[in-house]
Amino acid sequence: MEREKEPASQESTGYVDKLMAALDHPDPTVRLNAAHILGEKKAVRGVPALIEAYRRNIIDPYILKEIVWALGEIGDPRAFDLLASALRRSFLLVRVEAAKSLGKMGDIRAIPILEEATGDINVSVREEAQKALAKLRPVNRRGDFV
């Protein structure tokens, strides 16, 4: 007799659990891919695991960038402090991604942090911070930023 398939919600819960566990895998490519898929799936339940994985992978800019991207895709406010910190002091590609992610989150608390980043030493960070600010700042009737 054929076994009944689990309901989709239970299947995806198990899948998210496996992805969160993969954030600890010894192979960095597996960790990077797990972070990416959690972001694609907008797996809110994975946010604490992604934040913890960021701290465990602090010397790998590629994994950090993917975690920051995933957190931006998910958009959970619990990631705000980590993204702000990443924008202020991390590898270049992580800072660029952090600016994008803060813009995606839509949290106005990011405005002063992004304004600070418009003075970053790197032009890519400055440009992404300006783009993110354009998403966050309200525009008045004349079309000027307020």
Superfamily of domain 12-136: Leucine-rich Repeat Variant (1.25.10.10)
Residue 64 and residue 55: Cα distance in Å, rounded?
9
- The two three-digit tokens of residue 41, written as one number: 């799936």
pLDDT of residue 9: 46
pLDDT of residue 45: 96
- The two three-digit tokens of residue 57, written as one number: 């992978």
Long-range CB pairs of 12-18, under 8 A, 24+ apart, other chains included: 12/41, 13/45, 16/41, 16/43, 16/45, 16/46
Sequence spans of domains, the chain: 12-136
Closest CA to 57 of 31, 39, 86, 75: 31
pLDDT of residue 4: 44
pLDDT of residue 132: 97
pLDDT of residue 145: 53
Kindly report the number of other CB atoms within 10 A of residue 24's CB atom. 13
pLDDT, averaged per 10 consecutive residues of the chain (146 residues), comes to 41 87 97 98 97 97 98 97 96 98 95 97 97 81 50
b (16+ CB within 10 A) / e for 84-101: bebbeebbebbbbbbbbb
The pTM score is 0.86
pLDDT of residue 69: 98
From residue 26, how far is each of 31, 95, 140 by CA, in Å?
8, 25, 51
